[in-house]
C-alpha cells in the first residue's frame, strides 16, 4: 500500500474521531474537532498531490479517495446541522437551522445522485473523469465547515469581541455553505450533462 492510499485511510480513520470530539463535551472540544477536520482536509489535498507527483495513482486510491471525501463532508454537515446555535439580531435560531439543514440535505442528495450515476457508468465500462467544478465545490464545502464548526465556542467566550468574531465566522460560513450548495447543484447537473452517454441505452435493431 503506497503513501497516498495510507493518507486516504488515515482520513477515514479520523472521521469517527472528529465526530466523537465534536459531540463529547470537554473544554473547547469544538476547536479540537476543528483541528481534526482541518487535518482531514489537508490529507485530502496531500494524497492526491502525492499520487500524481510520485506516479502512484492506483485503482484502490481512486476508489477510496472520493468515498473518504463524501464520508468526511457528510459527517461534518450532519454534525453542524444538529448543532444548537444562539439566535442573532439578524436571524432567529429556527431560521438558521433551516438554512443549514436545507443546504446539507441538498448537498447530500446530490452526492448520492452522482454516486448512483457513477455506478451506472461502471456497469457500462464507461470511465468518468473528475470534474473541476466538483473540486471547487468541495473546497467551498470545507471552507464553510471550517467556519461553522467552532462557532458555539467562539460565541461563548466572554469577551465581546470574541462573540463578534464568532458571528463573523458563522455568517461567513453560512455564505460559503450557500455558495457551496449552488456549486454542488451546478457541478452535479454539469457532470451528468457532460457524461449524458451514460444514460443512453445502446439499442441494436
pLDDT tens digits for 37-83? 999 999 988 888 888 888 877 877 778 888 898 999 999 999 998 88
Name, of 16-20, 51-55, 66-70, 123-127, the range with top average pLDDT.
Answer: 16-20
Whichever domain contains 145, its CATH number is 1.20.120
Q: Is residue 89 scored above 60 in pLDDT? A: no
Higher pLDDT, 4 or 167: 4
Q: What angle do CA 7, 79, 83 make, to 5 degrees?
A: 150
pLDDT bracket for residue 95 (50, 70, 90)? confident
Distance, CA of 179 to CA of 182 (rounded, Å):
5
Q: Which domain holds residue 107?
A: 3-199
Q: Give the count of domains, the chain.
A: 1
pTM for the model: 0.85
What is the pLDDT, as a whole number, of residue 64?
A: 85
Going by the DSSP 8-state scheme, the letter that residue 196 receives in this structure is G
Share of the chain above pLDDT 90, in %: 34
Q: Is residue 130 part of a domain?
A: yes
Distance, CA of 19 to CA of 30 (rounded, Å):
10
Q: Is residue 102 part of a domain?
A: yes
Rounded (10°) CA dihedral 108, 113, 119, 121: -140
Q: Is residue 204 part of a domain?
A: no
Q: Is residue 42 part of a domain?
A: yes
pLDDT bracket for residue 156 (50, 70, 90)? low
Contacts of 89 (CB under 8 A, 6+ apart): none
Q: Is residue 205 part of a domain?
A: no
Q: What is the mean pLDDT of residues 161-190?
A: 84
Listed in sequence order, the DSSP H helices in the chain are 3-23, 29-53, 59-81, 93-123, 132-148, 151-156, 160-194
Amino acid at each position: 500500500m503506497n503513501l497516498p492510499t495510507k493518507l486516504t485511510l488515515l482520513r477515514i480513520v479520523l472521521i469517527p474521531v472528529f465526530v466523537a470530539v465534536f459531540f463529547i463535551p470537554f473544554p473547547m472540544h469544538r476547536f479540537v474537532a476543528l483541528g481534526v477536520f482541518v487535518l482531514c482536509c489537508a490529507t485530502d489535498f496531500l494524497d492526491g498531490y502525492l499520487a500524481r507527483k510520485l506516479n502512484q495513482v492506483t485503482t484502490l486510491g481512486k476508489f477510496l479517495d472520493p468515498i473518504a471525501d463524501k464520508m468526511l463532508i457528510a459527517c461534518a454537515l450532519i454534525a453542524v446541522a444538529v448543532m444548537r446555535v444562539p439566535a442573532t439580531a439578524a436571524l432567529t435560531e429556527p431560521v438558521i437551522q433551516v438554512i443549514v439543514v436545507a443546504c446539507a440535505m441538498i448537498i447530500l442528495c446530490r452526492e448520492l445522485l452522482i454516486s448512483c450515476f457513477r455506478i451506472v457508468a461502471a456497469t457500462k465500462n464507461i470511465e468518468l473523469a473528475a470534474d473541476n467544478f466538483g473540486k471547487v465545490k468541495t473546497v467551498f464545502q470545507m471552507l464553510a465547515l471550517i467556519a461553522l464548526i467552532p462557532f458555539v465556542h467562539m460565541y461563548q467566550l466572554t469577551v465581546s469581541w470574541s462573540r463578534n468574531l464568532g458571528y463573523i465566522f458563522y455568517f461567513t460560513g453560512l455564505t460559503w455553505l450557500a455558495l457551496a450548495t449552488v456549486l454542488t447543484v451546478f457541478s452535479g447537473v454539469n457532470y451528468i450533462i457532460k457524461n449524458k452517454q451514460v444514460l443512453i441505452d445502446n439499442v441494436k435493431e
